[in-house]
Amino acid sequence: MQISHLSAECVPFAKTGGLGDVVGALPKFLAARGHDLSVFLPFHLEAANWFRKRDTWPETAVEPYDVWVYGHKYTVGLLKSLLPGSLVPTYFVAQDELFHRGSIYAGNENGEDDGLWRFTFFVRAAVEGMKRLGMRPDVIHSHDWHPALAPMLGAWQSWREPWWDTVASVLTVHNIAYQGVYPLSEFPILGLPDGVAHGGNVEFGGALNLLKGALVAADMINAVSPTYARELMTRDGGFGLDGILRSRGERVTGILNGIDTAVWNPSTDTLIAANYDAADLTGRDACRAELCRVAGFEAGDPGFILGAVGRLTSQKGFDLLLSTVPELTRRGIRIVMLGSGEPALEESMRRLESQTKGRFRAFVGYDESGAHKIEAGVDAFVMPSRFEPCGLSQMYSLAYGTPPIVRRTGGLADSVNGFDGGNLDTATGFVFEDASAHALAASVLFAQRVFFHKELWGRIVSNGMAQDFSWSRSAERYETLYRKAREVRGLPW
Ligand code: ADP
Ligand code: GLC
């Protein structure tokens, strides 16, 4: 099959979280199964800098061409490179005014959110690029709300453009908390037929909701874990869009993400102090010692060290973790945390660090190499997420021999088997139910007790390291999803 991915993020060119990891990995594994893959991305400043740092530049894919958005003409440069470690062509839609910005999701020069405008441009430019390249994908696979216009063009525009007649659409929901909501008066920017504005297509709660439009229009939809697919259809999990997801129930499925073992693998990772694998964990000691040095912890202290990495948003529940820091550190636990996001949480991290010197270390910022060092160097990794569509960090920590302590939600529930005192043959980590500081602290303290029973802990570590979270398994499920999308393409639902 010919499959084109459309996304705002893709590792290593542009990433704020797991979306980038997924789009940078899945296409490689699909290509390895014999499919014809391509990825289309905006040429963000971050991507341009990635090339500059390596003293290289993507090649020109086609002659520059014009794309119109609501009467405004843009000239597009379509650039081409390969997804590192593969032969998958990655096409960059270059337009400095719209994408040459300090961060991927930054607003325009007045600080305004012009996401509707620039991602409309992105999709139109990518589709025009495909046509100029002589491509006509069997499936256009869109990720989250940014390329939402693509499934909408497929469903509601085909009478105008026969090119779409054979193109099926798949939408992956990585996080329904982000929907791309704009005033309904901005609908004309999309350039869709007027009738689409109403009748429950893209309108939701009196506003224009891009993700909703894509959920209505896509031939098939998937969430990034089976549990999240079910949670999306509930009032708590659907962020208002549960009704539309329920009504499309037969077209919705859940596929657990994989991890890219070329990047996240303790036996080859070049960002950690020493390599190791399940058969010989000695290298972990050096990783732990390095972590202690970087964090300013006493390396000879055998006490339990907890790590956390992630975006600081209420989704991740780091406020719960921060509120337990005084108690946990009093009980001999040391904690290292890396994250950036909400200023209030960044501020609490800094404050706690100054109050709990030598026991709580806060790294405020984004640091790829720091994330690897934490995964390999701490004793356990904590994710107290309020909701977690899939979560990749807990799978990285399983692969790194660092048992995760997670809340039972979304993909965390699907990937971590909690130790209950009896299931030593299968337990891979620790799982708690309530999104409360109390439940989190109880789970961490239980893990701390188990940690000092070296034999028990060793079993949990090796069970975790034996798990197969490779993309090969999930890539096969995506193949089935694509086939289904082609079968149901254009059929009423
Ligand atoms: P989400 O996509 O919701 O942020 P995931 O667990 O799927 O959560 O993916 C998070 C990814 O982003 C992981 O690769 C993690 O290491 C990385 N990450 C998040 N915050 C940071 C940070 N501050 N520094 C380095 N890496 C980070
Ligand atoms: C989202 C989710 C995260 C998921 C990632 C990749 O950002 O928050 O849980 O792992 O997408 O699918």
Q: What is the Å distance from ligand 2's center to 348 Cα? A: 24
Structural domain includes residue 338: yes
> Does 340 contact ligand 1 (Cβ within 6 A)?
yes
Residue matched to tokens 């982000």: 178
In a domain, 276, yes or no: no
Per-residue pLDDT tens, the chain, 493 aa: give them.
999 999 999 999 999 999 999 999 999 999 999 999 999 999 999 999 999 999 999 999 999 999 999 999 999 999 999 999 999 999 999 999 999 999 999 999 999 999 999 999 999 999 999 999 999 999 999 999 999 999 999 999 867 789 999 999 999 999 999 999 999 999 999 999 988 988 789 999 999 999 999 999 999 999 999 999 999 999 999 999 999 999 999 999 999 999 999 899 999 999 999 999 999 999 999 999 999 999 999 999 999 999 999 999 999 999 999 999 999 999 999 999 999 999 999 999 999 999 999 999 999 999 999 999 999 999 999 999 999 999 999 999 999 999 999 999 999 999 999 999 999 999 999 999 999 999 999 999 999 999 999 999 999 999 999 999 989 889 999 999 999 999 999 887 7
Q: Is 404 in the pocket of ligand 1 (CB under 6 A)?
A: no
Q: Identify the burial level of 100 via C-beta atoms within 10 angstroms of its C-beta, where 0-12 means exposed, 13-18 middle and 19 or more buried.
A: middle
Structure pTM?
A: 0.96
Q: How many domains does the chain have?
A: 2
Are 288 and 401 in contact by the 8 Å Cβ rule? The answer is no
Peptide bond into 64 cis (omega under 30): no
Residue nearest ligand 2's atom 11 by CA = 174
Range of the domain at 61: 2-258+472-488
Contacts of 214 (CB under 8 A, 6+ apart): 142, 145, 148, 149, 150, 151, 152, 171
131 plus 87 within the same structural domain: yes
Q: Look at residue 278 and tell me if it is in a domain.
A: no
Q: Is 393 in the pocket of ligand 1 (CB under 6 A)?
A: yes
Asked if residue 174 has its Cβ within 6 Å of ligand 2, the reply is yes
Tell me if 367 CB under 6 Å of ligand 1: yes
Mutate to test the pocket of ligand 1, among 263, 271, 272, 311 (most ligand atoms within 8 A of CB): 311
CB 349 within 8 A of CB 364: yes
**CATH number of residue 464's parent domain:** 3.40.50.2000
474 lines ligand 2 (CB under 6 A): no
Q: Letter for the amino acid at 173? A: V
**493 occurs within a structural domain:** no
Q: How far is the CA of 157 from the centre of ligand 2 (A)?
A: 30
| Both structure tokens of 37 | 């893959």
274 occurs within a structural domain:
no
| Residue from 277, 162, 152 nearest 208 by CA | 152
Q: Is 331 in the pocket of ligand 1 (CB under 6 A)?
A: no
Pair 223, 179 in one domain: yes
125 and 160 housed in the same domain: yes
Same structural domain, 362 and 409: yes
Q: Is the peptide bond before 193 cis (omega within 30 degrees of 0)?
A: no
Q: What is the pLDDT of residue 157?
A: 82
Q: Are residues 201 and 350 in the same domain?
A: no
Q: Is there a single domain that holds both residue 344 and residue 459? A: yes
Longest CA–CA span in the chain (Å) reads 70
> Cα 105 vs. chain centroid, distance in angstroms?
15
The conformation of residue 58, written as its DSSP 8-state character, comes to P
Same structural domain, 195 and 335 = no
